[in-house]
Structure 1
Amino acid sequence: MIEVGAVLVSEDLIKEEFVCNLHKCRGACCIEGDAGAPLHQTELAVLKEIYPHVKPYMTEKGIAAVEEYGTHVTDMDGDLTTPCVGGNKECAYVTWENGITKCAIEKAYESGAITWKKPISCHLYPIRTTVYPEFEVLHYDRWHICHSACSLGRELHVPVYAFLKEPLTRKYGAEWYSELEAAAAENDSNK
């Protein structure tokens, strides 16, 4: 682990390579799994507020899920997540373009209807965050559906943290990201 501010960063984020390859995976991370996307408590009010602006970009079954379960749910582990169609698997905010999943929230953001891009857990994926009282831990979530992203990352020589510069900067700030880059360079030179 590498310490950057009050965040412990797994060395896997520096040594592993990753670039989403949507043409291969088709956005499977938005429709697979046993729960919706993890949410932070501060995101709940945002989701409720933006829902009317996101709704026009959603599928009918996604709208039905939000109308039934709400803009967020608490999963069986007690974690806050996005609701899913039918109660599990496909995120209610998923929409489709040419057979590839897209985020209705992000589409609303891109069109200028809202100013919030999407839940930070979605933006950071494949990084997952564990929060403790005094610090956070960032770790690399390996999932077989991301095999093509790992292959493309190796082909292009893009470390996980570099691929996720925008969401890491969104969450922790530009200064923090610069410190992460410096720590990664130092870690690389020590090999």
Structure 2
Amino acid sequence: MIQIDNVVLADEVVEAKFVCDLAKCKGGCCEDGDAGAPVTEEEMEIVRKNLAAILPYLTAEGRLELERQGLFTHDDEFGYVTPVMKDGLCAYGTRDAAGIIKCGIEAAYNDGKLGWKKPISCHLFPIRLIETSGYTMANYEPRDVLCKPACAFGKKLKVPVYQFLKEPLVRKFGQEFYDTLHQIAVEHFDITTPNRK
């Protein structure tokens, strides 16, 4: 385990290799799971305030599901989550012409309609954060079948999980945290690949 301040990371965050291979997985993490994406109170408020900017990027089915279930639902295990449709797809998700699932919230962000990319639980996948008494646990939890292409692609490119997820790690914990993690990776885990920019 790696501890930086009150964050405890599984060794696999540094040791394992991972790079999403969307051509193969089709963004399936947005529809494969026991519930929607976990969201914080702050994130729910951001969606509520920016709903008018987000709605045009959703499917008609997604918008109807938001009307039916609400913008968020509560799960006994994960707390507040994004609602999912009958086929398992997140209500905020869409499919492009190639069948790849994209996030409607992120699409609005990419078009400059809001200054927030998407829930941090989505951005950090396959790292899952678990809040415990005074600590945040960061575990590496790829899907057994769905993420096999990403694990293989990461090994081929020799990219550790934490480097692939640099942007969301910095977003969540800050640049100093990430730099410390990278230093630990180089000094204690023999990571020789360059730090991703």
Superposition TM-score tier, normalisation by shorter sequence: over 0.9
Q: Secondary structure at the match of 1:34?
A: coil
- Aligned identity (percent) is 41
Distance 1:13 1:152 in 2: 16
- What SS is found at the alignment partner of 1:145? coil
Q: 1:165 aligns to what? A: 166
Aligned ranges for residues 107-118 of structure 1 at < 5 Å? 107-118=107-118
Q: What is the identity, as a one-letter code, of the residue corresponding to 2:91?
A: A
What is the rounded CA distance, in whole Å, between the counterparts of 1:34 and 1:69 in structure 2? 16
| Aligned counterpart, 1:17 | 17
1:69 partner letter: Q
TM-score relative to the length of structure 2? 0.92
Structure 1 portions without partners, runs of 5+: none
Which residue is 1:149 aligned to? 150
Deviation at 1:78? 5.8
Gaps of 5+ in 2: 192-197
1:165-184 alpha-carbon deviations (Å, 9 max, x no partner): 00000000001110111111
- For residue 89 of structure 2, give the secondary structure of its aligned residue in structure 1: coil
Residues 51, 71 of structure 1: 8 Å contact kept: no
Question: Which whole-Å CA distance do the structure 1 matches of 2:190 and 2:77 have between them?
Answer: 41
Corresponding residue for residue 49 of structure 1? 49
Deviation at 1:70, TM superposition (A): 1.3
TM-score relative to the length of structure 1: 0.95
- 2:93·2:103 contact (CA, 8 Å) conserved in 1? yes
Report the RMSD for the aligned CA atoms in angstroms. 1.4
For residues 19 and 2 of structure 1, what CA distance do their matches in structure 2 show? Answer: 21
Question: SS at the partner of 1:17?
Answer: coil
What residue number does 1:186 align with?
187
Moved over 2 A (4+): none
Matches within 5 A, 1:1-191: 1-77=1-77, 79-86=79-86, 89-98=88-97, 99-143=99-143, 144-189=145-190
Q: Which amino acid aligns with 1:165?
A: K
- Residues 129-188 of structure 1: CA distance to partner in whole angstroms, max 9, x if unpaired? 011131101000031201000000000000000000000000000011101111111222
Asked if 1 retains the 8 angstrom alpha-carbon contact of 2:38 and 2:78, the reply is no
